[in-house]
Structure 1
Amino acid sequence: MERVGYRAQVAWERRYVRLLIVFDILGCVLAAIIAFFVRFGDHPFQSSWPYILMSGLLPVAWALSMAFGRAYEGRFLGGGSEEFKRVVNAAARITACVAVISYATKLEIARSYILIAFPVATVLSVVGRSGGRGILHHMRRNRRCLHRVLVVGAGESAATLVRLAHRDPTSGWSVVGVCLDRSPGRHSHDLPERSGFDLLGVPIVGTLDSLHTAIQATRATTVAICPQLDSDTLRQVMWALEGSDVDVLVSSALTDVTGPRISIRPVAGLPLLHIEEPELTGGRRVLKALVDRCLALTAVMIFAPLLLGLAIAVRLNSRGPAIFKQTRVGRGGDSFRMYKFRSMYIDAEARLEELRGANERSEGLLFKMRNDPRVTPVGRFLRKWSLDELPQLFNVINGSMSLVGPRPPLPSEVAQYEGDVHRRLMVKPGLTGLWQISGRSDLEWDESIRLDLRYVENWSLAMDFVILWRTLFAVVRREGAY
């Protein structure tokens, strides 16, 4: 019985990897077909047998390249941008291999075929991975495809890991038990009618001395170790877990610093974490600004008829201008005028005080009300689908905002900032961001601040593209949109 939970976990992981392999192969097949018919559209089967053979072998080689690039490894799947980086790197490697082989064997391959097939296959693989991740996250929200996690460590640090797991169901963590570094005492979470103890509703199943027993009792597939354990204790725990068929994760005390900023630097045989400073200036910032403005300008040209239609609808629905202008605080504390489609009646600000008592945000720094009477009928539709944000594309074009960044704050909010919260102002605010894909108006103030600071600490162009992609799904789901 102890192995049933572990085998079930392995089964869903294998099924998910098989799904990704199918997506990668289908994407590559489609790319090869597109490249083949674009190159030989007028005479597809005359003197083109090498391309027919290549189109047949390419999907298999593509999947093998992904496997050698560890793009199917479980620890990279389901979250973060590392999976997509490995897909792109594997695609670059197989492209280079084909180029070298064709040069070495003097095989004549049309460059147009290569220039179409490989980029299209890369894009389709990334799209397929994104679709697979969406399926996985949906199942995890329904309490399926979860890792059974046993948290090991001191009380407060263990509680932090439990809170993080509860906060984000898409992470795939189901915390099934806690092993403390010492025997538990009586505390506020104990229930008198129960014989055991619990931590935030998760049962305390033992201590470090009974770790193997706890793993068997909870059928855990992953052990998450808190950072407060001393090195000798941690080493003993790692040795004790050898051969136990569980994944071992060690939490860092730097909970919001991730990605390329962290690397391992061995010093005198001791592996130390090297933490890079967040990149707030330099070439990558210039590239981000260039990408932002090019994408925003392209979006404005594509959606120009929609923007005009929405502006007319706003004007016809109620008195007042179509565009609502509001002072917000940008990078470095500089104020700017942010543009939105007007979604409220023109006397909305005057009516705010009488509605203060209906504020659904307990911290009071922001005013949020699901059925705000100041919102117009057209405004409700715009907010429901986040269309009221589209004029912010002009803010991106003029450089006051970015496509991705922290939520643009009001001056009244900034006046109440304390301590580290000011770090939000180290980058440009964004049209979308981690707050947009994590619940929007449903987020508490502290949680939105945490997400914004996490973005400031760890931003990258790859992260921006992932957020932009996930924003599409967040808008469709309409979670927190009111």
Structure 2
Amino acid sequence: MGAAVGAAPRAVTWQDLHRRRVLLGDVLVVLVVMSVAVFVQTTTGSEDVASAVRQKSILSYQAASVLLAVVWLVLLALYGVRDRRILASGAREYKALFDAGIALFATTAIAAVLFKLDLGRGFLISSVTVGTVLLIGVRWCFNAVLRAERRKGKMMSRVIILGSPGSVRHVAEQLSSTARAGYMVVGACLPERHVSDGHVDIGVPVLGTANSALAVMQKAEADTVIVANSEEFSPRWMQQLGWDLEPGGQHLVVAPSLVGIGGPRIHTRPVAGVPLIHVETPRFDGGRWIIKRAFDLVVASVMVVVFAVPLLVVALTVRLTSPGPALYSQERVGLNGRKFHMYKFRSMRVGADDELPSLLEEHGQGRELLFKLKDDPRVTRFGRFIRRTSIDELPQLFNVLGGSMSLVGPRPQRDHEVELYDLAARRRLLLKPGMSGLWQVSGRSNLGWEDAIRLDLYYVENWSMLSDVAILLRTARQMVKPDGAF
């Protein structure tokens, strides 16, 4: 590998165009919000920004709004909201926008104290709050368009993976299962000894050796190289690879041998030129769990009040459409293996549990984990509807209020299913089970046990309040547009 000298200017990529559109959106939102804020403030009887203004200060609402707009845009840049690593990253991107809004408010408040300016709390709070919400909303719209394009295979980073066959296969499978991340694996380059072994089946085309990676990238029009197993390559070789890549146009990504680790738990600290990755161990106690419980109580209480009439209507309909009680109770295994009774609206005929063994035998199934029959004859006509829309789960709000469940968490399973858990799966029991969870909003019954446990374990290891809110919003969308529920 050798560094190219005097390389031609790189072509404009879709990433550049996307960043420009996002920048334009940010600028327009900030300018519109500040303009409307000034208009409202100056047409509702207020004069200037502060008492200092009335004393012939050079500041006015107009000047203050221009200054705030400039500071806001600078803060957005400083918080990296248009950085390539953050764009279209979802919660991380929205958090950066939120943090920039908080920083703007704090900066302005401090400036007001230092320079003794009464900036008008209503003017400041309303403009920053509305602006931050609009920035996040506009960014969500951009991301929705980007996700739609990626589902068509467009606007993706073309990736070459370097590493041993096993590590390349693992990274390629993970990236292929998450198209929304925007990585399209076009091929792999393996160390010379693996290529010389003959045919290697790793799920993606082997386009060359690791030493020919740059030539392969140019030929495949790839813009990203992922090193999946850095132990295969010397530090000097890795350094040279980074030097040889086109600045700004080609990107080097190193995938460490870590799985199921969320971003907030990972911190990189360079020491003597060596990037050390610090991984925080998950904790299952402390103040944030008190916040989670308080959140559960407040939201569940509100939902019970809001859905009181619909709950009664569904209960009455269940009774009228099939003989038997409206509610169904089943023993499940919860936090730390404690058993509890989970409530649902009855969606099957009475005695359905007694029919399960013969039904499994009829379909050639054992008592498997997450087994569900798509056309289960035990499900009633109305039950099919409430199962598909997840309305049958709403009585679990009372489980949440009672403390045996949470709004979000791993799905509770029955005792005989828990008996089949391996050591990894048992980590699901470290958290309270949830009405909804990551696997329910990621495919639900369309997923196999391995995918379901991977998603549940990821949630257990990387829980955050923001992730709970995101899962609840995706759950609401899932109820409107069901996918994988039967």
TM-score, normalization by structure 1:
0.87
Q: Name the CA shift for 1:471/1:72 in 2 (closer, same or farther; >3 Å).
A: farther
CA contact (8 A) 2:360 2:366 kept: no
Q: Distance in 1 between matches of 2:142 and 2:476?
A: 15
- What does residue 175 of structure 1 align with? 185
Alignment counterpart, residue 184 of structure 1, candidates 188, 191, 195: 195
Matched, 1:383 2:387: yes
Matched, 1:279 2:289: no
**Structure number with larger C-alpha Rg:** 2
CA contact (8 A) 1:13 1:74 kept: no
Aligned residue for 2:219, secondary structure, equals helix
Q: Distance in 2 between matches of 1:99 and 1:475?
A: 42
Q: Name the CA shift for 1:315/1:121 in 2 (closer, same or farther; >3 Å).
A: farther
* Greater Cα shift, 50-59 or 89-98: 50-59
- What does residue 332 of structure 1 align with? 336
Q: Name the CA shift for 1:378/1:279 in 2 (closer, same or farther; >3 Å).
A: same
Shift of 1:11: 2.2
Matched, 1:22 2:25: yes
CA deviations over 1:213-241 (Å, ceiling 9, x no partner): 10111110111111343443433433443
CA contact (8 A) 1:20 1:132 kept: no
* Greater Cα shift, 227-236 or 166-175: 227-236
- What does residue 224 of structure 1 align with? 226
CA deviations over 1:337-376 (Å, ceiling 9, x no partner): 1122222222321222332157698993222122222222
- What does residue 199 of structure 1 align with? 202
Alignment counterpart, residue 416 of structure 2, candidates 412, 416, 419: 412
Matched, 1:435 2:416: no
Shift of 1:54: 5.1
The amino acid that maps onto 2:187 is: G
CA contact (8 A) 1:296 1:397 kept: yes
Q: Distance in 2 between matches of 1:203 and 1:420?
A: 32
Q: Name the CA shift for 1:29/1:326 in 2 (closer, same or farther; >3 Å).
A: farther
- What does residue 154 of structure 1 align with? 164
Shift of 1:328: 1.4
Q: Distance in 2 between matches of 1:275 and 1:34?
A: 44
Q: Distance in 2 between matches of 1:21 and 1:393?
A: 43
Matched, 1:164 2:174: yes
Q: How does 1:1-400 map to 2 (within 5 A)?
A: 7=11, 10-12=13-15, 14-15=17-18, 18-19=21-22, 21-22=24-25, 25-26=28-29, 29=32, 33=36, 37=40, 44=44, 47=47, 50-51=60-61, 61-182=71-192, 183-185=194-196, 199-200=202-203, 202-227=204-229, 228-232=231-235, 233-241=237-245, 243=247, 245-267=249-271, 270-356=274-360, 364-400=368-404
The amino acid that maps onto 1:152 is: L
The amino acid that maps onto 2:14 is: A
The amino acid that maps onto 1:440 is: R
Shift of 1:147: 0.9
* Greater Cα shift, 351-360 or 293-302: 351-360
Aligned residue for 1:337, secondary structure, equals strand
Q: Distance in 1 between matches of 2:48 and 2:421?
A: 66
Using the aligned pairs only, state the percent identity: 38
Q: Distance in 1 between matches of 2:332 and 2:31?
A: 46
* Greater Cα shift, 166-175 or 241-250: 241-250
Q: Name the CA shift for 1:363/1:157 in 2 (closer, same or farther; >3 Å).
A: farther
Q: Distance in 1 between matches of 2:32 and 2:135?
A: 11
Aligned residue for 1:71, secondary structure, equals coil
Unaligned runs of 5+ in 1: 191-196
Aligned residue for 1:252, secondary structure, equals coil
Q: Distance in 2 between matches of 1:402 and 1:172?
A: 32
CA contact (8 A) 1:36 1:113 kept: no
TM-score, normalization by structure 2:
0.86
- What does residue 455 of structure 1 align with? 459
CA contact (8 A) 2:22 2:139 kept: no
CA deviations over 1:396-419 (Å, ceiling 9, x no partner): 222211222112222111111112
CA deviations over 1:48-91 (Å, ceiling 9, x no partner): 68446656775565444322211111211223532122111101
Q: Name the CA shift for 1:147/1:276 in 2 (closer, same or farther; >3 Å).
A: same
CA deviations over 1:153-175 (Å, ceiling 9, x no partner): 11000000111112122121110
Shift of 1:272: 2.1
Q: Name the CA shift for 1:23/1:444 in 2 (closer, same or farther; >3 Å).
A: farther
The amino acid that maps onto 1:211 is: A
The amino acid that maps onto 1:350 is: D
Q: How does 1:460-471 map to 2 (within 5 A)?
A: 460-471=464-475
- What does residue 194 of structure 1 align with? none
Shift of 1:115: 2.9
Aligned residue for 1:179, secondary structure, equals strand
Aligned residues: 465
C-alpha RMSD of matched pairs (Å) = 3.0
Q: Name the CA shift for 1:241/1:143 in 2 (closer, same or farther; >3 Å).
A: same
Q: Distance in 2 between matches of 1:291 and 1:472?
A: 17
CA deviations over 1:23-53 (Å, ceiling 9, x no partner): 674388459747975x78xx62663684466
Q: Distance in 1 between matches of 2:157 and 2:335?
A: 40
Shift of 1:16: 5.6
CA contact (8 A) 2:25 2:138 kept: no
CA contact (8 A) 2:245 2:251 kept: no
Aligned residue for 1:431, secondary structure, equals strand
Shift of 1:392: 1.8
* Greater Cα shift, 59-68 or 148-157: 59-68
CA contact (8 A) 1:360 1:368 kept: no
Q: Name the CA shift for 1:66/1:251 in 2 (closer, same or farther; >3 Å).
A: same
Aligned residue for 2:297, secondary structure, equals helix
Shift of 1:148: 0.5
Q: Name the CA shift for 1:298/1:222 in 2 (closer, same or farther; >3 Å).
A: same
Q: Name the CA shift for 1:34/1:410 in 2 (closer, same or farther; >3 Å).
A: farther
Q: Distance in 2 between matches of 1:26 and 1:359?
A: 57
CA deviations over 1:390-446 (Å, ceiling 9, x no partner): 222222222211222112222111111112211111111122221022111111101
CA deviations over 1:73-129 (Å, ceiling 9, x no partner): 121122353212211110111112222333344333222233333223323333333
Runs of 4+ in 1 over 6 A off after TM superposition: 360-363
